[in-house]
Amino acid sequence: TPIQRQTSKQRFVSEFSRCLFDFVIQLLPTTEELTIKEDVRKLLERLIRTIEPESRLLSFGSTANGFSLRNSDMDLCCLIDSEERLSASDLVTMLGDLLERETKFHVKPLPHARIPIVKLSLEPSPGLPYGIACDIGFENRLALENTRLLMCYAMIDPPRVRTMVLFLKVWCKRRKINSPYKGTLSSYGYVLLVIFFLVHVKNPPVLPNLQQMPALRPISPEETHLNGHNIWFFDDIRLLRQRWQSSNTESVAELLVDFFRYYSRDFNYNNGVVSIRAGLLKKDGKGWQSDSDRGTARERNRLCIEDPFEVDFNVSRCVTRDGLYTVRGELMRASRILASRPERAIVALAQLCE
């Protein structure tokens, strides 16, 4: 009967929510890991200052945005506060030499990449069973700001937002659809899909749009713009939590079921652009068509996710036709597993991440 179906659904989602929390908690980094990573950051900062005394080395990406899993890589950004400074590619070369001499890291400088970086890695050891992988970039201030934006979203409703994001990060890694180099989507892209869903798809929304909230005081353009991009957002989360409360009471399991349904069935991949800043946009409006033209530039816009600050930049431009096909197939698979509501929620979770 409909009533029996309703209660079986309720039983499933409440059990599945519990499973999700338990699962995600085990995957968080240990305090030991966080301490080691902070020590590594400090060591590297000290070394870089022997080349550029006015520099700071800051974390961004998952180590700084609240969406870190155990053993995730470290993204570091070097900021130099002096006027005269070396070019990024010279710095990469010099820093590469220095780190090779002074540390045990495997060092791979990429001075001629589009964004010059130094790649570092450390072999696994008893104290660090998975080793460390780390990228050091230069002057990437927008990445620091988008990291701060994601961190603020994570802080508004950690039980639902962090659980959903962390679960999806594990899911996409296990299902092998988290490799921009192979035509699928970066972690950053998946996080933007989740935030878009919670801000713009769910009604009532689970999260407010931090980029469209009224500011508390007048702000000058110099304060809000960086390299021509508007980077302002409401970042006083303590105040926000006093003034704004979501009237959406769905559990994390219900949200996840709906997330998979939305991106496997409802989202229009042919014309839609995911924008956490402005809601659902159209490819035509942004000049991001991906019509039947083969190859060349058009291949870039199979999936369109607008960067929150660099609005001309499609975060998912590396997603290829085959990559998108695979990702959508996985979203459908997940949606199907959840719709079948296996007897035990833990079985659903295991199947999802098989």
Least Cβ distance, residue 42 to ligand ATP (angstroms) = 20
User: What is 46-68 written as a DSSP string?
Assistant: HHHHTT-TTEEEEEETHHHHS-P
Residue 143 and residue 136: Cα distance in Å, rounded? 12
Alpha-helical (H) ranges within 67-186 are: 88-102, 141-156, 158-174
Residue 257 C-beta: closest distance to ligand ATP, Å: 23
Q: Which does residue 186 touch among ligand ATP, Mg ion, none (CB within 5 to 8 A, set by kind)?
A: ligand ATP
- 67 makes contact, choosing from ligand ATP, Mg ion, none, with CB < 5 to 8 Å by partner type, with ligand ATP
Least gap, CB of 313 to ligand ATP (angstroms) = 6
CA dihedral (197, 203, 204, 207) in degrees, to 10, reads 10
What is d(CA 292, CA 121) in angstroms, rounded to the nearest whole number?
Answer: 42
- The residue sitting closest to Mg ion, measured at its beta carbon, is 61
What, of Mg ion, ligand ATP, none, does residue 60 touch, CB below 5 to 8 Å by kind?
Answer: ligand ATP
**Measured from the CB atom, is 37 or 229 closer to Mg ion?**
37
What's the rounded Cα separation, in Å, for the pair 352 and 338? 8
CB-nearer residue toward ligand ATP: 147 or 290: 147
How far is it, in rounded angstroms, from Cα 351 to Cα 340? 12
Q: Which does 254 bind (CB under 5 to 8 A by kind): Mg ion, ligand ATP, none?
A: none
> At closest approach, how far in Å is the CB of 325 from ligand ATP?
20
Q: What is the per-residue burial (b if ≥16 Cβ within 10 Å, else e) of 207-237?
A: bbbbbebeeeeeeeeeeeebeebebbbbeeb
CA dist 76 and 74 (Å) reads 6
Measured from the CB atom, is 73 or 254 closer to ligand ATP? Answer: 73
Footprint of ligand ATP on this chain (CB under 6 A)? 60-62, 65, 67, 69, 72-73, 75, 143, 146-147, 186-188, 307, 315
Distance in Å, CB of 114 to Mg ion, minimum: 18
Name the residue whose CB lies closest to ligand ATP.
61
